[in-house]
Amino acid sequence: MKDLTLIIPAKNESESLPKVLDELKKYPYNIFIVLHESDKKTINSIQHHNVNIIYQKNFGYGDALIEGINKCESKYFCIFNADGSFNPKEISSMIDKTINENLDFLFASRYQNNSGSEDDTIVTLIGNYFFTLVGKIFFNLNISDILYTYVLGKTKSAHKLKLNRKDFTLCVELPIKAKRSDMKIDSIGSYERIRIGGKKKVNAIKDGFLILIYLIKIFFNKKI
Protein backbone atom coordinates (compact mmCIF):
# COMPACT_ATOMS: atom_id res chain seq x y z
CA MET A 1 0.00 0.00 0.00
CA LYS A 2 1.79 3.07 -1.29
CA ASP A 3 -0.57 5.34 0.63
CA LEU A 4 1.11 4.33 3.89
CA THR A 5 4.47 5.51 5.17
CA LEU A 6 6.34 3.78 7.97
CA ILE A 7 8.16 6.29 10.16
CA ILE A 8 11.10 4.60 11.86
CA PRO A 9 13.03 6.66 14.42
CA ALA A 10 16.51 5.23 14.92
CA LYS A 11 19.37 5.82 17.31
CA ASN A 12 22.35 3.47 17.55
CA GLU A 13 20.42 0.70 15.80
CA SER A 14 23.10 -0.56 13.38
CA GLU A 15 22.64 -4.11 14.66
CA SER A 16 18.87 -4.33 14.28
CA LEU A 17 17.75 -1.81 11.64
CA PRO A 18 19.23 -3.61 8.57
CA LYS A 19 17.40 -6.79 9.61
CA VAL A 20 14.17 -4.85 10.12
CA LEU A 21 14.49 -3.34 6.64
CA ASP A 22 15.19 -6.77 5.15
CA GLU A 23 11.95 -8.02 6.70
CA LEU A 24 10.05 -5.03 5.33
CA LYS A 25 11.20 -5.58 1.72
CA LYS A 26 8.18 -7.74 0.93
CA TYR A 27 5.74 -5.04 1.99
CA PRO A 28 4.66 -2.20 -0.36
CA TYR A 29 5.08 0.64 2.14
CA ASN A 30 7.03 3.86 1.92
CA ILE A 31 9.73 4.03 4.59
CA PHE A 32 11.19 7.04 6.37
CA ILE A 33 14.21 6.45 8.59
CA VAL A 34 14.67 9.39 10.95
CA LEU A 35 18.00 9.79 12.73
CA HIS A 36 20.71 12.30 13.52
CA GLU A 37 23.56 12.72 11.07
CA SER A 38 26.04 12.05 13.86
CA ASP A 39 24.85 8.41 14.03
CA LYS A 40 27.30 7.32 11.33
CA LYS A 41 27.30 3.65 12.29
CA THR A 42 23.54 3.28 11.80
CA ILE A 43 23.64 5.32 8.59
CA ASN A 44 26.40 3.13 7.13
CA SER A 45 24.54 -0.03 8.09
CA ILE A 46 21.56 0.82 5.83
CA GLN A 47 23.31 2.48 2.89
CA HIS A 48 22.33 -0.39 0.56
CA HIS A 49 18.65 -0.24 1.44
CA ASN A 50 16.18 1.71 -0.67
CA VAL A 51 14.71 3.98 2.00
CA ASN A 52 14.29 7.69 2.57
CA ILE A 53 16.55 9.02 5.29
CA ILE A 54 15.50 12.13 7.19
CA TYR A 55 18.22 13.77 9.24
CA GLN A 56 17.07 15.26 12.52
CA LYS A 57 17.94 18.88 13.17
CA ASN A 58 17.71 18.20 16.90
CA PHE A 59 17.70 15.15 19.16
CA GLY A 60 15.01 13.10 20.87
CA TYR A 61 12.48 10.35 20.13
CA GLY A 62 9.55 12.75 19.86
CA ASP A 63 11.54 15.12 17.68
CA ALA A 64 12.30 12.27 15.27
CA LEU A 65 8.64 11.34 14.98
CA ILE A 66 7.53 14.94 14.50
CA GLU A 67 10.07 15.47 11.72
CA GLY A 68 8.95 12.26 10.03
CA ILE A 69 5.25 13.08 10.29
CA ASN A 70 5.80 16.64 9.05
CA LYS A 71 7.50 15.32 5.91
CA CYS A 72 4.97 12.55 5.34
CA GLU A 73 2.74 13.07 2.28
CA SER A 74 0.91 9.73 2.18
CA LYS A 75 -2.66 9.50 3.48
CA TYR A 76 -1.63 7.25 6.36
CA PHE A 77 1.47 6.88 8.52
CA CYS A 78 2.61 4.23 10.96
CA ILE A 79 5.16 4.59 13.75
CA PHE A 80 7.45 1.56 13.54
CA ASN A 81 10.35 0.56 15.77
CA ALA A 82 13.90 0.09 14.50
CA ASP A 83 14.66 -2.69 16.98
CA GLY A 84 12.56 -5.48 15.46
CA SER A 85 9.99 -5.57 18.28
CA PHE A 86 7.05 -4.67 16.01
CA ASN A 87 5.68 -7.35 13.68
CA PRO A 88 4.95 -5.93 10.20
CA LYS A 89 2.38 -8.68 9.61
CA GLU A 90 0.07 -6.76 11.95
CA ILE A 91 0.02 -3.65 9.76
CA SER A 92 -2.55 -5.02 7.29
CA SER A 93 -5.15 -5.60 10.04
CA MET A 94 -4.31 -2.19 11.51
CA ILE A 95 -4.85 -0.38 8.22
CA ASP A 96 -8.05 -2.36 7.51
CA LYS A 97 -9.54 -1.40 10.88
CA THR A 98 -8.48 2.23 10.47
CA ILE A 99 -10.09 2.49 7.02
CA ASN A 100 -13.22 0.44 7.77
CA GLU A 101 -14.00 2.37 10.96
CA ASN A 102 -12.75 5.71 9.61
CA LEU A 103 -10.39 6.15 12.56
CA ASP A 104 -8.03 9.05 12.96
CA PHE A 105 -5.60 6.97 15.02
CA LEU A 106 -5.29 3.31 15.93
CA PHE A 107 -3.13 2.35 18.90
CA ALA A 108 -1.73 -1.16 19.12
CA SER A 109 -1.95 -2.79 22.54
CA ARG A 110 -0.06 -5.60 24.27
CA TYR A 111 -2.84 -5.96 26.85
CA GLN A 112 -5.86 -7.02 24.80
CA ASN A 113 -7.05 -10.43 23.62
CA ASN A 114 -4.59 -12.26 21.35
CA SER A 115 -1.76 -9.96 22.36
CA GLY A 116 1.29 -9.98 24.61
CA SER A 117 4.96 -9.13 24.90
CA GLU A 118 8.31 -10.88 24.95
CA ASP A 119 10.03 -7.66 26.02
CA ASP A 120 7.92 -6.40 28.94
CA THR A 121 9.35 -6.32 32.46
CA ILE A 122 7.54 -6.00 35.77
CA VAL A 123 8.64 -2.36 35.96
CA THR A 124 7.37 -1.44 32.49
CA LEU A 125 4.19 -3.47 33.05
CA ILE A 126 3.33 -1.61 36.26
CA GLY A 127 4.32 1.75 34.78
CA ASN A 128 2.22 1.18 31.69
CA TYR A 129 -0.78 0.09 33.75
CA PHE A 130 -0.47 3.20 35.91
CA PHE A 131 -0.19 5.68 33.03
CA THR A 132 -2.94 3.95 31.05
CA LEU A 133 -5.19 4.23 34.12
CA VAL A 134 -4.32 7.92 34.46
CA GLY A 135 -5.21 8.37 30.79
CA LYS A 136 -8.61 6.75 31.31
CA ILE A 137 -9.50 8.61 34.51
CA PHE A 138 -8.22 12.11 33.75
CA PHE A 139 -8.35 12.24 29.94
CA ASN A 140 -11.12 9.73 29.13
CA LEU A 141 -8.85 7.72 26.85
CA ASN A 142 -10.25 4.41 25.63
CA ILE A 143 -6.89 2.77 24.87
CA SER A 144 -5.30 -0.01 26.91
CA ASP A 145 -1.57 0.52 26.31
CA ILE A 146 -0.74 4.22 26.34
CA LEU A 147 3.06 3.85 26.26
CA TYR A 148 3.21 1.42 23.33
CA THR A 149 4.21 3.42 20.29
CA TYR A 150 2.95 1.12 17.53
CA VAL A 151 0.48 3.64 16.11
CA LEU A 152 -1.21 4.00 12.72
CA GLY A 153 -3.16 7.07 11.72
CA LYS A 154 -4.23 9.63 9.19
CA THR A 155 -1.40 11.98 8.33
CA LYS A 156 -3.71 15.00 8.07
CA SER A 157 -5.05 14.31 11.55
CA ALA A 158 -1.54 14.18 12.97
CA HIS A 159 -0.67 17.48 11.28
CA LYS A 160 -3.70 19.12 12.90
CA LEU A 161 -2.51 18.19 16.39
CA LYS A 162 0.64 20.32 16.15
CA LEU A 163 2.66 17.88 18.23
CA ASN A 164 5.62 19.47 20.01
CA ARG A 165 7.07 17.04 22.56
CA LYS A 166 10.68 16.27 21.67
CA ASP A 167 11.16 13.30 24.00
CA PHE A 168 9.27 10.11 24.86
CA THR A 169 6.37 12.12 26.32
CA LEU A 170 5.09 12.39 22.75
CA CYS A 171 3.63 8.90 23.25
CA VAL A 172 1.02 10.39 25.61
CA GLU A 173 0.77 13.79 23.94
CA LEU A 174 -0.59 12.22 20.74
CA PRO A 175 -3.59 10.33 22.18
CA ILE A 176 -4.48 13.11 24.65
CA LYS A 177 -4.50 15.81 21.98
CA ALA A 178 -6.40 13.52 19.60
CA LYS A 179 -9.06 12.91 22.26
CA ARG A 180 -9.32 16.62 23.10
CA SER A 181 -9.75 17.35 19.39
CA ASP A 182 -12.70 14.92 19.23
CA MET A 183 -10.84 12.67 16.84
CA LYS A 184 -11.85 9.03 16.49
CA ILE A 185 -9.37 6.65 18.14
CA ASP A 186 -9.35 2.98 19.04
CA SER A 187 -6.93 0.17 19.89
CA ILE A 188 -6.10 -3.28 18.54
CA GLY A 189 -4.23 -6.25 19.96
CA SER A 190 -0.53 -6.61 19.17
CA TYR A 191 2.28 -8.99 20.10
CA GLU A 192 5.60 -7.32 20.94
CA ARG A 193 8.63 -9.36 19.93
CA ILE A 194 11.96 -9.27 21.72
CA ARG A 195 14.32 -6.68 20.22
CA ILE A 196 16.85 -8.00 17.71
CA GLY A 197 19.84 -6.21 19.15
CA GLY A 198 21.14 -3.06 20.78
CA LYS A 199 19.83 -1.53 23.98
CA LYS A 200 16.53 0.02 24.97
CA LYS A 201 16.53 3.79 24.65
CA VAL A 202 13.78 4.28 27.23
CA ASN A 203 14.79 4.75 30.86
CA ALA A 204 11.83 3.53 32.92
CA ILE A 205 12.50 5.82 35.89
CA LYS A 206 13.63 8.97 34.06
CA ASP A 207 11.09 8.79 31.23
CA GLY A 208 8.34 7.72 33.63
CA PHE A 209 8.99 10.84 35.73
CA LEU A 210 8.95 13.08 32.63
CA ILE A 211 5.66 11.55 31.50
CA LEU A 212 4.11 12.09 34.93
CA ILE A 213 5.17 15.75 34.99
CA TYR A 214 3.82 16.27 31.47
CA LEU A 215 0.49 14.64 32.33
CA ILE A 216 0.09 16.98 35.31
CA LYS A 217 0.90 20.01 33.18
CA ILE A 218 -1.39 19.11 30.29
CA PHE A 219 -4.25 18.27 32.67
CA PHE A 220 -4.24 21.80 34.07
CA ASN A 221 -3.20 23.58 30.87
CA LYS A 222 -5.06 22.52 27.72
CA LYS A 223 -3.02 24.89 25.57
CA ILE A 224 0.26 22.96 26.00
CATH number at residue 175: 3.90.550.10
Confidence label for 198 from pLDDT (cuts 50, 70 and 90): confident
CA dihedral 50, 16, 63, 43 (to 10 degrees): -50
CA dist 190 and 111 (Å) reads 8
pLDDT tens for residues 99-146?
A: 999 999 999 999 998 899 998 889 889 999 999 999 999 999 999 999
Task: Give the pLDDT score at 1.
Answer: 65
CA dist 221 and 202 (Å) reads 26
Q: Where are the beta strands (DSSP E) in the chain?
A: 4-9, 30-36, 52-56, 76-79, 105-109, 116-117, 151-154, 185-189, 191-192
pLDDT, averaged across the chain: 94
Q: What are phi and psi of 52, to 5 degrees?
A: -90, 125
SS3 content of the chain, % helix, strand, coil (to 5): 40, 20, 40
**Mean pLDDT value of segment 29-53:** 95
DSSP secondary structure letter of residue 55: E
Q: Looking at this protein, which amino acid is placed at residue 15?
A: E
Contact 144, 106 (CB under 8 A): no
**Mean pLDDT value of segment 59-80:** 97
Confidence label for 223 from pLDDT (cuts 50, 70 and 90): confident
Structurally, how many domains does the chain consist of? 1
Note down the domain range covering 43. 4-220
pLDDT tens for residues 25-35?
A: 999 999 999 99
Pairing outcome for strands 185-189 and 116-117: unpaired
DSSP secondary structure letter of residue 78: E
